[in-house]
Structure 1
Amino acid sequence: QSIPHQANLGICLVSCEAIRRELSDKHTLIATRELETYCRITRERCLSIERDFNSIRVTLQRTPETIEGLVEMREHLATIPKVVADQTPAIEEALSQFALLDSFGYRFTKDDFGARWDTFALPKSIGDQVAS
């Protein structure tokens, strides 16, 4: 807005529209790339959280073959609520980052959309698996 549409240089009248348009396009490109980078970082955070939960899921899927294995499984089951509670702030932060991107009208890819809702569902899926 600080660049005029035209500049009167005495004898000449210079049009600044092309410069205004190029600067506007450049600012739009920068903003878009910032949002894409922020989304990539958020998606990576979600994948990290999912890896942590998958390690819990793998442990829960093992079938104990001995009494000692069963005791270890029960001890592990007792630690799961704490692990889930420790991950809750990271999950909430990732979801708030997705909400921020959403507020800017960012168009999510299918992978981003899936990562968002998979991250949201992780605590419940682990809880359901523990219950069964």
Structure 2
Amino acid sequence: MTGRHTVTELKDSTMRKWLGRLLLAIVVLIVAAVLAAYLLMRGSLPQLDGNSALRGLAAPVSVQRDRRGVVTIDAASQVDAMRALGYVHAQERYFEMDLMRRAPAGELSELFGPAALDPDKRNRVHRLRA
């Protein structure tokens, strides 16, 4: 009886094909979601290489990082060095700076939800937001 298949065999074969397709679609969706999350997170990282324009400098400033990320600033004046240091701080510690600004203003619950509501209520009494 070659060439003859029962209805059950055909249903099983069709079911296997659809399950394989479904599994492939799920894997593709997971890979796409991981890739999108990676690209989204990578976009928020600071630009550590190349040149950046910084207004207000009297002379060019060099900012170098060693392999451990330690910053060395070479500037013609102390004012230029301080301005470059502020730029580096903002570049590398933006989230921390934003957190330290939000805490006394009572705005942490905007980031962390209901868990930060009690400290926000206590801090808003002081009205430290400009």
The two structures have a TM-score, normalised by structure 1, of: 0.37
Bigger relative contact order, structure 1 or 2 (CA pairs below 8 A, ≥6 apart): 1
Tell me which protein shows more helix as a share of its residues.
1
